[in-house]
Amino acid sequence: MTTEEVFSQIRQRLDRAIDNALDMIGERLRGETQKLLRGKKKIAWKELFDSIVYRKERLASGWILHFGSNARHARWVSEGRPAGKMPPIEPIKRWVIQKGRLNPGLFKGGFERYNRMSKKQKAGKEAEAERAAWGVAIKIKHRGIKEFPFLTLIVNQEIGKINQILQKAVREM
């Protein structure tokens, strides 16, 4: 066996070990983020909870683990929003319809029940949702949204465990 073949085998084993380690890290980060979001129900956590994703990328120079959320409002939760500017109404209206909790009975049953309603019923519920959305938007305009950098918090919290997983993967290679 030539030196080149030996290095090729080592490189393949290392790639498999790192690939598996990155899967473990991605799943751990997703799980810990979801655990954190369970306690924060005021930030439309369900959509965030379901949107935590990771993706591995192999480059010539090494590996990259992309970790984040593909929820529409993840940026505003993470970075916050200063007071003074009115947010768009439509996403808030969709959230009100989905949540159905701002007014008891307003879209109870979520989108499934809403989709079965007659046009007249939908129009009445949409008007209620529009009013509720405007109320939320005005509150955001006056108070802003406090930042909650949930992804950064988890990565910082888990950095020690990430290092352990990578070291173990290399040792066991």
Residue-range domain boundaries for the chain: 3-74+148-171, 81-143
Residue in 60, 52, 65 with CA at minimum distance from that of residue 19: 65
Please indicate, yes or no, whether the overall pTM of this predicted structure exceeds 0.85. no
Residue 2 has pLDDT above 50, yes or no: yes
**pLDDT at position 30:** 95
Q: What is the pLDDT of residues 41-85, one digit of tens each?
A: 666 667 788 899 999 999 988 899 999 999 888 888 899 999 998
Residue 118 has pLDDT above 80, yes or no: no
Residue 3 has pLDDT above 70, yes or no: yes
Contact status, residue 23 vs residue 153, Cβ threshold 8 Å: no
* Alpha helix (H) residue ranges in 39-149: 45-51, 74-79, 89-99, 110-116, 119-143
**pLDDT at position 44:** 61
**pLDDT at position 84:** 92
70/51 Cα distance (integer angstroms): 5
Confidence class for position 130, pLDDT limits 50, 70, 90: confident
Confidence class for position 112, pLDDT limits 50, 70, 90: low
Residue 108 has pLDDT above 60, yes or no: no
**pLDDT at position 129:** 83
